[in-house]
Amino acid sequence: MTPHPTEPVYRLHRGTAPLLISLPHDGALIPDALAARMVESARRAPDTDWHVSRLYALARAFGASIIVPSYSRYVVDLNRPPDDTSLYPGQNTTGLCPAVQFSGEAVYLDGQAPTPEDVAERVELYWRPYHDTLVGELDRIRGEHGRAVLWEGHSIRGEVPFLFEGRLPDLNLGTAAGKSCLPELQARLERILGAQSDYEWVANGRFKGGYITRHYGDPEIGVQAVQLEISQRNYMDETSFAYDESKAVRLQVVIEALLRATLAADDA
């Protein structure tokens, strides 16, 4: 049986600009009853997108709305479809209720992995509220501004052999291969990335955008979606998970420029 949340499933800061920042893997809480079923290494929630809400806090100053979950992706992955269809067929990945860590190790003790009933309960208790709020906020923003941009903020260790070969570029822009936003927006973002020399970057490489980017990005109705996957070495220590303020400040300059570019007119 899935424990009910004892903390708010998400925190929402409602802003005034046509920009909603979603940070679906920032949460690290694991209910005690679930943690007891996990191997020791998984109880630390090592695959969290550590500190991304801290990186993106600057966006409040120019009116962005921000939604941040409380609970770990090990409870349920908010960036996976509710039917758990693979986003990257043929490649290693983790599912809606992950049974394997990014390291390739198991999440659960033998015989303790979630059942289909567990998964269905977690979707209703933890996944559904986040997505209902995403839909509501996008509708509100579009109603107020005539358009909305959904920015998906993510981070990951720069080397994860289980998921990809070699070293991940510093900044990984994903627009579902150009389907989730207008070409004008992608071009503005690529110009910003191309004009800086501190970070390696790629567009629509290994990370093209997860379920949220692909599902909600619909330029034809005035909702554009973009994902940015950041290699964690650029703002934190990947071993201890400690935030590195000096690195983060430099990275935030680029993040702010990218976010401000989403607020420009589509024909800019």
Strand 171-174: give its sheet, edge to edge. 10-13, 65-69, 19-22, 148-156, 223-231, 171-174, 201-203
Please give the chain's pLDDT, 268 residues, in tens. Answer: 788 989 999 999 999 999 999 999 999 999 999 999 999 999 999 999 999 999 999 999 999 999 999 999 999 999 999 997 766 666 657 789 999 999 999 999 999 999 999 999 999 999 999 999 999 999 999 999 999 999 999 999 999 988 888 999 999 999 999 999 999 999 999 999 999 999 999 999 989 999 999 999 999 999 999 999 999 999 999 999 999 999 999 999 999 999 999 998 664 3
Triad 121, 127, 133: Cα angle to 5°: 135
Task: Give the number of other Cβ atoms within 10 Å of residue 121's Cβ.
Answer: 18
**Structural domain spans, the chain:** 10-263
| Gyration radius of the chain over CA positions | 18
The rounded distance, in Å, linking the Cα atoms of 180 and 3 is 35
pLDDT in tens, 219-263: 999 999 999 999 999 999 999 999 999 999 999 999 999 999 999
201 touches 172 (CB < 8 A):
yes
CATH number of 10-263: 3.40.630.40
